[in-house]
Structure 1
Amino acid sequence: MERRTVLRSAGVAACLVAGCAGSPATRLAHHVSVRNWTESSRALGVIVEGESETLFNHRYDLESGTHRGGYGFYGEANTIAVIVDGYAVQEFEFDDASCTGRDLVGLVLTLTESGTVDLAYECAIAEDPTPTNGNASRP
């Protein structure tokens, strides 16, 4: 199984991804971000299910026009369910085909004014870290 190091574009953290050459669902979803583009405050719940367990379950209370992130999950995701204000709104089958040739690093869920939720995948090109010879700066 191939192992690669993926560096987040923000440079905040690095993650180890196993099975990059395998099924898209075996990749690591590094973080979950949510956005509320409606005119009112909303509660947005996100549940990510794996084959035999819940991988992620978090509720966000979002003011109008706000964006939140900072949470993530590991594992093989199958479905993503979105609950808005306590009511199930949408369920997505996990499919990061748009990341072909790149590694999935996150999910972005956007609550639109019409009440629907848009799902986007954040992808990054897998890179090996630059060797530093044990120094904090490049040689």
Structure 2
Amino acid sequence: MSLDIEFSSLQADIFEGRKDISVFLVKGRFYYLADDKENFCIDVRPEYRSYVERGVLQEELYDAALFQFRGGVPVLNCETFEVYVKNNNLALLSVEWMRGFFRHSLPAGYFSQLYRKLRILRTSPGYAKIA
């Protein structure tokens, strides 16, 4: 798949509410990845427990539901991050890939123009400074 198609596909998934991009800091390293947005919760157990309490999920199915969530990783932390990535076949995105994604389909000079507009806005009399 070409990068252009990959960028457009992810962009559509993000705007349609299916996916998100996230940045993780694990053991001093930054990791960038795109995944289904429901997978970006830290701990799904309280949510699933509330399903049991409301009768939406049967108590007997609670453990099985946890095991199925996010490839068997109900709690996302430094120790479980690599398992989450591996079990879900996620591609770690490079800084270069991220740069390309965020610049995708923008005309040359877009960020220069944006910076100039923000600078003008910031120096205008109506600009409120937050300390």
- State the structure with bigger RCO (CA 8 A, min sep 6), 1 or 2: 1
Q: Name the TM-score, length of structure 1 as normaliser.
A: 0.28
Q: Which has the larger radius of gyration?
A: 2
Which is helix-richer, 1 or 2? 2
Q: Name the TM-score, length of structure 2 as normaliser.
A: 0.29
